[in-house]
Amino acid sequence: MCGIVGYIGTQTAVNILIEGLERLEYRGYDSAGIATVTEEKIESVRAKGKLFNLKEKLENHSNFSRLGIGHTRWATHGKPEEHNAHPHLDNQQRIAVVQNGIIENYQTLRDQLKEKGYQFYSETDTEVIPILIADILKDLPGDDPDKALLEAIGKAVHQLEGAFAIAVLDAHCPEQLIVARQQAPLILGFGQGEFFCASDVTALVPHTNTVLSLENGEIARLTPLGVEVYDFQLKRLRKLPRTLDWSATTVEKQGFRHFMLKEIYEQPAVVRTCLATYLNEQWRAADHPSHSPVFLGLDPQLTKNLQHIQILACGTSWHAGLVGKYLLEQLAGIPTTVHYASEFRYAAPPLTPHTLTIGVTQSGETADTLAALEMEKQRRLTLEDDYKPLILGITNRPESTLATMVNEIINTHAGIEIGVAATKTFVAQVLAFYFLALDIAFQRHSLSLEAIEHIMVGLRQLPAQIETILEQQGSAIEALAHEFAETQDFIFLGRGINFPIALEGALKLKEISYIHAEGYPAGEMKHGPIALLDAKVPVVAIAMPGSVHDKVISNAQEAKARDARLIGVTPMDDNQARSVFDDLLLVPHVEEMLSPIVAVIPLQLLAYHIAARRGLDVDQPRNLAKSVTVE
């Protein structure tokens, strides 16, 4: 959840570290700090709260060191106070460490180190790491400090249990920065005479497009001469970096007030990219094609003889999975279940053969999802040889940990998303399920060729339809949002394929506005939740054309009879809805099967504008982080 950054090179480290932390602050903003090496001394500055507090402390602080590490924290062990902020140092102030992750056996290590006389000044798990490294160092030969530090870290990581990515400085080694990774993301950046490390490439793209993702169980030593990568046994490894196609402008707001608003408006381009990447433009039903309408490039064994699909995800990705369930069942005809990854780990269903497991995670680093997938992979190895694990990943980061543990990846091509509340990545994940469902439906002949082509035609119209919403409804939704600045509760209703969109709309509002919001199947309102309704509780109902349209209208009228203010997500040509709803969030007319993509856009805008009207930090909502890399 936290963000770490490190630098060694020819420039002043402090400026690069602060800039990197600004781009990583979406990973945590409870506190921040940096450490540098100057004249064989560690200089560390830390501050409680958001990064601007640290920047204020550094305003009159002269530091020209060319080696340093930085950290922005999402608190796990210990409250968000300055004494718990990273970097943490050993008792002699020689070793400085920043960490992303959790050391599960930190209490045992802490007790052991206390028995040796070491003092602890924080409640964090991280503080044991520099003290442990220092304790190991004192028993190693001191004639080559650089070699000793690498050896000490190699010994230390074998004693750490849990998920971690660390960056380590040694005051006696002013020409090296050492990092290590185990179950937490860490990326290296290669410049000209300078090298970087960070939790995410967003911190690196202003400086370099040449990067290397460390894998689990790897250590890297960064010096002014280059980068050396080792395994945890300190065996030298040969690794090749890759080149990113991102530029610095992709991580800028580009005139928008917040990253979230920018990312909402990027959705037409994201959908166009996905369609251009995966949809076969030449495919026509009249040609009686023998090849699939989509270019997923998946191993045919992954979807051959499928009897069941299970989807594992968390948060917004779980909502995308619910839409995926509907598509896979209704289009492809395959029974599908959707599980919270965090729950699946401790109560997995009985094993069934011919089952495809799909892990959905925007970052490819979500700890619960990765752990659930690994557990399922190991469980399925116990089945007969014919039933080897079939695991598919859907992610926005094909270079992530997820890619190393699944058979195949569907890259959602959404680009960098900085805002903590997912918007464009949700739409891209849902599109991935459309493509997968169409591919399987074609293979299984569960849909006619004409029906497949009809859906493809509708998909191609989505970018323009999203642009219509943004252009015609943006100002109206902003004006409407002003009326809810003091609202305490919201209810979102949907049925069928749009029930997950009701959940997603409620989640967006909760995440960034701190308003209590709940999503329900519209037909379930009368079975209990209707007791919540009165004039102070607005109800947002998704009333899109299709089999459940009239049912949703009827359920909305039940809410209206209880004095609730009704807001309808409805097509622009739906005259019936105009007579029912107090306020309208209008969208173009689309068929029911494609409606989630357009229905979610006004809900994103409504959540954004309410939060902005309340004066809240939309991009960095309290208590949240973009990538949940701890359990």
**Which residues are catalytically annotated?**
2, 626
Place of tokens 């402090």: 14
Q: Which two tokens stand for residue 11?
A: 């420039």
CB atoms within 10 A of CB 517: 24
- CB-based contact 437:253 (threshold 8 Å): no
List the 95-103 sheet strands across, edge first.
88-89, 95-103, 162-170, 177-182, 218-223, 226-231, 236-237
Task: Report the distance separating Cα 282 and Cα 420, nearest Å.
Answer: 38
- The total number of residues written for the chain in this structure: 631
If we measure between CA atoms, which residue out of 191, 234, 193 comes closest to residue 212?
191
* Helix (H) or strand (E) run with residue 107 in it: helix 106-115
Q: Which two tokens stand for residue 404?
A: 């190393």
- What sign results for the dihedral spanned by CA atoms 208, 60, 25, 474? negative
- CB-based contact 220:188 (threshold 8 Å): yes
Say what angle helices 595-613 and 449-481 make with each other, to 10 degrees. 20
Q: End-to-end alpha-carbon separation of the chain, Å?
A: 10
β-pairing, 539-542 vs 489-494, is: parallel
Name residue 74's amino acid.
W
Place of tokens 């166009």: 272
Q: Which DSSP letter does residue 294 get? A: B
Task: Report the distance separating Cα 65 and Cα 68, nearest Å.
Answer: 7
Task: Report the distance separating Cα 102 and Cα 109, nearest Å.
Answer: 13
Q: Is 105 exposed, middle or buried (0-12, 13-18, 19+ CB in 10 A)?
A: middle
CB atoms within 10 A of CB 408: 17
If we measure between CA atoms, which residue out of 88, 181, 179, 94 comes closest to residue 145?
94
Task: Report the distance separating Cα 435 and Cα 268, nearest Å.
Answer: 17
Q: Is 258 left (phi over 0), alpha (psi -120 to 50) or beta?
A: beta
Task: Report the distance separating Cα 432 and Cα 628, nearest Å.
Answer: 22
Backbone angles phi, psi at 203, to 5 degrees: -80, -15
CB atoms within 10 A of CB 231: 14
Instruction: Please state, in angstroms and as integers, the Cα–Cα distance from residue 223 to each residue in 86, 182, 196, following that order.
Output: 22, 21, 10
Task: Report the distance separating Cα 428 and Cα 413, nearest Å.
Answer: 7
Name residue 198's amino acid.
A
Q: Which DSSP letter does residue 564 get? A: P
Backbone angles phi, psi at 391, to 5 degrees: -130, 130
Strands (E), 417-499: 489-494
If we measure between CA atoms, which residue out of 270, 371, 377, 355 comes closest to residue 313?
371
